[in-house]
Amino acid sequence: MAHPKTERTLVIVKPDGVQRALVGEIMKRFENVGLKLVAIKMTTTSAEHVEKHYTLDPEWRRITGEKTISSYKEKGAAPPSEDPYEVTAVILENLKRYMVAGPIVPMIWEGAHAVKVVRKLVGSTEPLSSAPGTIRGDYVLDSYPMSDTDGRAIRNLIHASGSPSEAEAEIKHWFKPEEIVRYRRMQDAIVYSPELDDYLEQ
Ligand code: GDP
Ligand code: MG
């Protein structure tokens, strides 16, 4: 089994995150927790590339549609359709418009349990219900009722991979292997080495 410290995850600062000048704040949280940045770029994307990103998992359309329909029902509201694929089609169109609206910053973070650690710091999908202390909870206040009323995607600043297998596919989708930098970082010895050196002066 690969050592947990080699896990990688994909994060994308979405157009609203760049416009609100939050790239540094967001990166700082991942640096603070001890993750290592191994790739980053500022770029723009296309509707085709965004659609491919969200549908890398062939089940994504069904799962997202079903999840959205049940969250409407939990709130006692009528879903826009009973067909998960129809619901997802609308979500995907909105996501494409959102993601192409301006520059974005894809990046790869590496370190122990990178996927889980990043998701914990990012918070839940809908900023209104993201816990305080998380990036979405602290920096944005969007909600599904508001984004649905306005016929747009929820503005939640960032994308972060949901599982290690999702991360692997997404990393390949956004970065060429030569864009990923392999390097040692001095502070990692403190976090990961089985024994700490003796730091006391004799
Ligand atoms: P994430 O991994 O936290 O971004 O969330 P998901 O992968 O579950 O969903 C991807 C995107 O689909 C989200 O960023 C939203 O734009 C959209 N989405 C997911 N669930 C819902 C929902 O219940 N309602 C609406 N309107 N959009 C949703
Ligand atoms: Mg996701």
Structure tokens at 134: 């998380």
pLDDT tens-place string over residues 62-86? 999 999 999 999 989 899 999 999 9
Return the CATH class of domain 1-44+105-183. alpha beta
**Distance between CA atoms of residues 153 and 146, nearest Å:** 10
pLDDT bin (cut points 50, 70, 90) of residue 34 is very high
What integer is the mean pLDDT of 54-65? Answer: 96
What integer is the mean pLDDT of 177-181? Answer: 98
Q: Would you say residue 202 has pLDDT above 90? A: no
Q: Where are the domains of the chain?
A: 1-44+105-183, 46-101
- Residue 159: active-site member: yes
Ligand 1 contact, 34 CB (< 6 A): no
pLDDT bin (cut points 50, 70, 90) of residue 190 is very high
Q: Would you say residue 198 has pLDDT above 90? A: no
Which amino acid is located at 173 in the chain? H
What residues contact residue 149 under an 8 Å CB cut-off, 6+ apart? none
Spatial CA neighbour of 160 closest among 88, 109, 200: 109
Q: Which of 49, 53, 113, 159 is catalytic?
A: 159
Residue to substitute in 64, 70, 128 for testing ligand 1 pocket (most ligand atoms within 8 angstroms of CB): 64
What integer is the mean pLDDT of 27-46? Answer: 98
How much of the chain exceeds pLDDT 70, in percent?
A: 100
Ligand 1 contact, 12 CB (< 6 A): no
Q: Would you say residue 171 has pLDDT above 90? A: yes
**Distance between CA atoms of residues 58 and 183, nearest Å:** 34
Give the β-pairing of 158-160 and 36-40.
unpaired
What integer is the mean pLDDT of 83-97? Answer: 97
What integer is the mean pLDDT of 100-111? Answer: 98
Ligand 1 contact, 68 CB (< 6 A): yes
